[in-house]
Every structure is written in C-alpha cells, then in structure tokens.
C-alpha cells in the first residue's frame, strides 16, 4: 500500500500475523531505522558477536561512534556488496563442496544478513552447497564438523520436559518449524541426531528462496537413538549412543510418515515435504511438460520405480490433478498410474501382502518382476524414479521408453547424485536426444548432436519455501491438497517458451524469489477460497503483498 509515496504498512501487520518486525527483516521495513536489541541494546563487542545485527566492516562511522565499536574494527568502511564479492571469491577457492558448506555455515553464525545475501544473489551456485547434494555429506560428517549447535535437539532424555526445552529457544514468534528424527536422510539412511543438517538447510531456503524471516524459523531434531552401527561406534557422534527406540515413540520413516500425516493434517498446520513437497514439484514438471508432450495428464500413462512415501505421494497428487481436471473419481484416475517396488509391478494378486499405502495402486495385471518387463508391458509415456537406488534406469529400460514414445519423459528423482536412477547424459544419449529429462539433484547441461540440453531439476526447493510463505501470509490453519495443486500450477506457469526450446520443464532457479512470490500468492488465494485463511481482510493483490512481506538481507541502518 502506498500513500503519497510513503509506505503505510504497519510493522505490526506485516507477515507475522500481527507479529512485530523487531529485527527489521521484511521488505516493508527496509527504509526504517531499527534498534539492535538483544536483551538490552547491543553495542561494542556484543554487537560484533551477534549474527542478527553484525555488519562487520560495513558499520558506518556514525554507528561505530554510537555503538562503542571504535577500535574494535579496522578503520576501513566497506559496502555489503564488497563483502559479498570477497566472500564469494573465498568460497570459490575451495575445491571440496563440504569445505564450501562449512564456510557458509560459519558465515551464518557470524553475519546472518550477509549469509542470506550471498545465498539469494548466487542461488544456482550455492543451493547445491547448502542443500542437496552437499548437505547429505554434511549430515554424514556432522559430528566431525560440528562447532556450534543450530536448532533444538529434543532427545529421549527430555521426555516429559519438552515444553521446558521449547522455552529455551530465544525467539518467541515462530512461524515455520522443520522437524526430523534423522531416520531416513535423503538416500543415506539412518543418520540419527546428525540429520539436523536437513532442517537447518531447509529453513535457510525458506528464508532465502521463500522470504520467511530467519527469526521465525526453528529447526528441530528428535533424537531417539540410531540403528546406524557406524555412528554408534564413532567417538565424535553427537547424538544418543543407543539403538533407535520404537513402539510408543514412532519414527518418521516412510512406514510411519503416512500415518503421522493423516493423523495430524486435519487438526494441525503440517505438511510432509518428502511426500507432499516432492509430489507438488514433480506435478509442476509434468504439467509444464505437456506443452512438449501434447495432450492432457489424463492422456498419459505413468510408471514409477519406487513405491515409498515419495512415489506414492507423487502418484496420489497426479491422480488428484487428473480427477480435478476431468471430473472423474480419483479411483478411476489412479488406473493411469503404475508402481514398481522391490518385488516387481504392484498388481491385484499381491494385494494381501502389500503395505496399506500401496494398496490403491494394485491394478489388475499379470505379475511382472522386473522394471524392463514392466516398461514393455505398460508402455508408459512417463517414467519416474523414486527408488533411492542409482543406475536402475538401464540402457535397455531407457531404449524401451524411446521405442514407443517420440518424446519419453524420464524423471530420475533420487538424491543425492550418486543415487540417481540414471544421469542426464545417459538419458539423452540412449534416446538419441529425444528425452525430456529431469532429476532430483543437479546435472550439468549436455550437448548431443550439436544441441544443448539443459536438464530440469525437480528440486523441492522450488515449492516448499513458497508454499510455507503462502501459508504464513494468509494465516492458514490447515494445508489442503488443493493448495499443493495451486503451488504446482503456479510453478508450471513460470516456464516460458524460451525454456521449452532448451528442453526445460522447470524455470531457472535464478528467478526463485519471483517464482516463490507467485507460488505463495496462489497458495494464499486457495487458502482464502477454502475459508482456511485468518489474515483478514484479503489483500487485493496477493503477489504484491507477498513481495512486500518477503525477508530482505540488505543491511539496516542503526540508530
């Protein structure tokens, strides 16, 4: 809202559902002077050690006088842009991705705004450093690289005292919590307490890509032990050295993820990114790819390798979108979608022995044990890998896809890169450049027969930051499936003809803040339409409203 050139956004009515913007984090407060509070006004040595307020050499002469910084800093005064240039040079000088990760985490602990400035301005370069695939290696070695705790650790030792633990967190106005129990980290299995790298990494993206305030984010790891013997034997392991507790204390691995989601989604504001976020980003890629494939979703047949939480979550959202667009029952829409698990094609004759979340996908067909035979029998136009097992899309499988599809769509979604079902180079080479390819982890562009192909990355980071931000700005009280469809459609709409010409079905991540604003606006609009929003009245232009509420990392001026 503008009034004679002045911003009339009340700081108390910005994103936080009436939560005051005390740190000056939102775009709406960029030009306002702020007081660098900690418990009292931060000054001198304390100010330089406070990552919320520290600006390093960017403190002005006046700020150095008024906040007792004289002599505590070298005399040079530099801009945030120069600091960013220097740090990017430093980070690029490291050859090992894990060293870059450590450097970024140390920066976040020292100077929060500069960390986010780097991440926002260099998103394509730094996203693989702070998130997949490097975050996987960071979690594996978290005990060795651990310096300062980030987030809240809730272990079995705290049983009965969880409220006290939550009260120990310094911030009171939390809007987004990311929680893991470390049992299934990417494709790397049980990493116990060291899974904290995932909530920390994801929340950095909620801020950098989605615009949620850093002060409103809380990473949580629930530590109930680990079944990873290597970690239990590691003297540097930072978690409980005991086998994983089961029974009443349920874990979050896929055998419980579905039950936990269905139990709480109707009563709490929760979503499971592995199930719903992955599904939404894959659906966006499928909707966008229709421009290249032709037809509607209902005209295509889908075959999945992997029937865990990601596979069945994606399949269910595809069925829901087909049902929504064609007005046929979801049960009917499911018949276009086939799943292969470790025992072969999921068919009716296996129904009795299947886990409950696989049962809706048991269609009538004779038993088929291998993926290759399933491809030949089902003749899918879309092949999606969520198996967590690398190199399972063999040359024969991909060639079979190319035999009966002019443009086979191949999505090798398993993370990290080593677990991808096939590489971009293999997909393009084995289909003679006809494949439309996307993956979970990034692959470099590949030239085939003089044509440059840019592989898509079906990265959850496209969806969950904008989805979370949309829920926050609308004050939504529940996450409805229609909001996930709205997020998918918003993402698909950001793909332009220029992108299609390069074989891309996702827009480049360089535009992610703009994309997230559109996703947030679409999600918020759906929340208002469904009567699930509490931030009233509804803003007239939700995209502009979302942009004005987004966190910006530019330094603020201090009184």
Mean pLDDT, residues 63-75 taken together? 96
Which one of 131, 142, 545, 551 is the catalytic residue? 131
Question: Is 6 part of any known ligand binding site?
Answer: no
- Under the banding of pLDDT at 50, 70 and 90, the label for residue 74 is very high
Q: In which band, very low, low, confident or very high, does the pLDDT at 120 lie, cut at 50, 70 and 90?
A: very high
Instruction: Give me the pLDDT at residue 30, please.
Output: 86
**256-266: average pLDDT:** 89
Percent of the chain scoring above 70 in pLDDT: 95
Was 554 annotated as part of a binding site?
no
Q: What is the largest CA-CA distance in the chain?
A: 80
The answer to whether 415 is annotated as binding is: yes
**pLDDT at residue 27, rounded to an integer:** 87
Return the pLDDT at 3: 43
HEC secondary structure over 7-51: ECCCHHHCCCCCCCCCCCCEHHHCCCCECCECCCECCHHHHHCCC
Q: 437: which residues sit within 8 A by CB, 6+ positions away?
A: 410, 411, 412, 424, 427, 428, 453, 455, 456, 503
- Residue 530: which pLDDT band, with cuts at 50, 70 and 90? very high
Check pLDDT > 80 for residue 6.
no
19 pLDDT more than 80: no
* Cα–Cα dist 30/47, whole Å: 20
Residue 11's pLDDT band (cuts 50, 70, 90) = very low
Q: Is the pLDDT of residue 503 over 90?
A: no
| pLDDT score of 15 more than 60 | no
**Cis ω before 411 (30° cut-off from 0):** no
Q: Region 331-340: what's the mean pLDDT?
A: 97
The 10s digit of each residue's pLDDT in 405-416 is 999 999 999 987
Show the DSSP H helices in 209-269 as ranges: 229-232, 254-264
Q: What is the mean pLDDT of residues 132-147?
A: 90
What does the alpha-carbon distance between residue 39 and residue 132 come to, in Å, rounded to a whole number? 36
Within 10 angstroms of residue 409's Cβ, the number of other Cβ atoms is 25
526: annotated active-site residue = no
Q: Is 65 assigned to a binding site?
A: no
What's the pLDDT at 8?
43
Q: Distances from the Cα of 443 to the Cαs of 98, 122, 151, 423, 436, in angstroms?
A: 18, 17, 31, 7, 13
The residues with which 153 forms a beta bridge, in sequence order, are 221
pLDDT of residue 16: 53
pLDDT given at position 396: 98
Query: Looking at the predicted structure, is the pLDDT value of residue 279 above 80?
Result: yes
Average pLDDT in the chain: 92
Check the annotation: does 81 bind a ligand: no
Q: Which residue has the higher pLDDT, 136 or 400?
A: 400
pLDDT band at 254 (very low <50, low <70, confident <90, very high): low
Q: Determine if residue 20 is labeled as part of a ligand binding site.
A: no
Nearest-angstrom CA–CA distance, 56 and 110: 9
For the range 267-274, what are the long-range contacts, defined as Cβ-Cβ under 8 Å and sequence gap of 24 or more? 268/478, 269/471, 269/476, 269/477, 269/478, 269/479, 270/479, 271/467, 271/479, 271/484, 272/309, 272/313, 273/178, 273/202, 273/460, 273/464, 274/309, 274/310, 274/313
> What pTM was computed for the model?
0.90
Q: Each residue of 31-49: pLDDT tens digit?
A: 888 888 766 788 899 999 9
**Of 202, 336, 358, 526, which residue is the catalytic one?**
202
**pLDDT exceeding 90 applies to what percent of the chain?**
82
Distance CA 212, CA 465 (A): 8
- Cα(324)–Cα(296) distance, integer angstroms: 12
| Overall average pLDDT of the 305-324 stretch | 94
For range 349-358, the mean pLDDT: 93
pLDDT score at 366: 97
Are 521 and 466 a contacting pair, CB within 8 Å? no
Confidence at residue 252, expressed as pLDDT on a 0 to 100 scale: 63
Query: What's the confidence (pLDDT) of residue 417?
Result: 84
Residue 196 has pLDDT above 90, yes or no: yes
State yes or no: pLDDT of 184 exceeds 60. yes
Residue 1 has pLDDT above 70, yes or no: no
Higher-pLDDT residue of 462 and 132 is 462
For 221, the 3-state DSSP assignment is strand
Distance CA 549, CA 559 (A): 23
Residue range 275-303: average pLDDT?
96
Flag whether pLDDT at 140 surpasses 50: yes
Give me the pLDDT at residue 248, please.
Answer: 61
Q: Is the pLDDT confidence value at 448 over 70?
A: yes
């Amino acid at each position: 809202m503008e009034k004679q050139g002045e911003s009339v956004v009340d700081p108390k009515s910005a994103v936080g559902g009436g939560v005051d913007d005390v740190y000056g984090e939102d775009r709406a407060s960029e030009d306002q002077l702020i007081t660098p509070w900690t418990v009292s006004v931060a000054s001198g040595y304390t100010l330089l050690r406070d990552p919320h307020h520290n600006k390093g050499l960017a403190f002005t002469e006046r700020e150095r006088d008024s906040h007792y910084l004289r002599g505590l800093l070298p005399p040079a005064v530099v801009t945030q842009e120069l600091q960013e240039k220097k740090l990017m040079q430093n980070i690029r000088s490291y050859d090992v991705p894990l060293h870059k990760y450590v450097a970024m985490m140390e920066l976040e602990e020292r100077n929060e705004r500069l960390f986010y400035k780097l991440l926002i301005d260099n998103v394509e370069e730094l996203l693989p450093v702070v998130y997949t695939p490097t975050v996987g290696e960071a979690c594996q070695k978290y005990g060795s690289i651990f310096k300062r705790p980030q987030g809240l650790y809730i272990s079995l030792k705290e049983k009965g005292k969880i409220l006290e633990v939550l009260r120990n967190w310094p911030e009171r106005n939390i809007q987004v919590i990311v929680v893991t129990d470390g049992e299934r980290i990417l494709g790397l299995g049980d990493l116990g307490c060291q899974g904290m790298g995932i909530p920390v990494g994801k929340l950095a993206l909620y801020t950098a890509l989605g615009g949620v305030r850093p002060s409103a984010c809380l990473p949580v790891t629930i530590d109930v032990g680990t079944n990873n013997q290597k970690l239990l034997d590691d003297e540097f392991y930072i978690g409980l050295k005991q086998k994983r507790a089961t029974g009443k204390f349920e874990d979050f691995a896929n055998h419980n993820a579905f039950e936990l989601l269905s139990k709480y989604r109707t009563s709490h504001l929760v979503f499971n990114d592995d199930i719903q976020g992955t599904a939404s980003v894959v659906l966006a890629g499928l909707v966008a790819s229709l421009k290249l494939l032709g037809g509607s979703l209902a005209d295509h047949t889908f075959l999945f390798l992997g029937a865990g939480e990601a596979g069945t979550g994606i399949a269910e959202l595809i069925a829901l979108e087909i049902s929504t667009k064609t007005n046929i029952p979801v049960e009917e829409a499911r018949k276009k979608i086939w799943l292969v698990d470790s025992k072969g094609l999921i068919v009716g004759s296996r129904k009795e022995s299947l886990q409950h979340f696989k049962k809706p996908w048991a269609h009538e067909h004779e038993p088929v044990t291998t993926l290759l035979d399933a491809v030949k029998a089902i003749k899918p136009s879309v092949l999606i890998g969520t198996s967590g097992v690398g190199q399972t899309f063999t040359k024969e499988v991909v060639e079979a896809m190319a035999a009966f599809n002019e443009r086979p769509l191949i999505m090798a979604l398993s993370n990290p890169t080593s677990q991808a079902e096939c590489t971009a180079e293999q997909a393009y080479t084995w289909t003679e450049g006809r494949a439309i390819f996307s993956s979970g982890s990034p692959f470099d562009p590949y030239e085939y027969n003089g044509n440059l192909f840019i592989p898509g990355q079906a990265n959850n980071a496209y969806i969950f930051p904008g989805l979370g931000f949309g829920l926050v700005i609308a004050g939504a009280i529940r996450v409805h499936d229609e909001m996930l469809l709205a997020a998918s459609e918003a993402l698909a709409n950001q793909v332009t003809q220029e992108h299609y010409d390069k074989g891309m079905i996702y827009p480049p991540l360089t535009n992610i803040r703009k994309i997230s604003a559109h996703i947030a606006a679409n999600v918020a609009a759906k929340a208002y339409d469904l009567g699930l929003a509490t931030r009233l009245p509804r803003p007239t232009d939700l995209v502009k409203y979302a942009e004005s509420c987004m966190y910006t990392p530019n330094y603020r001026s201090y009184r």
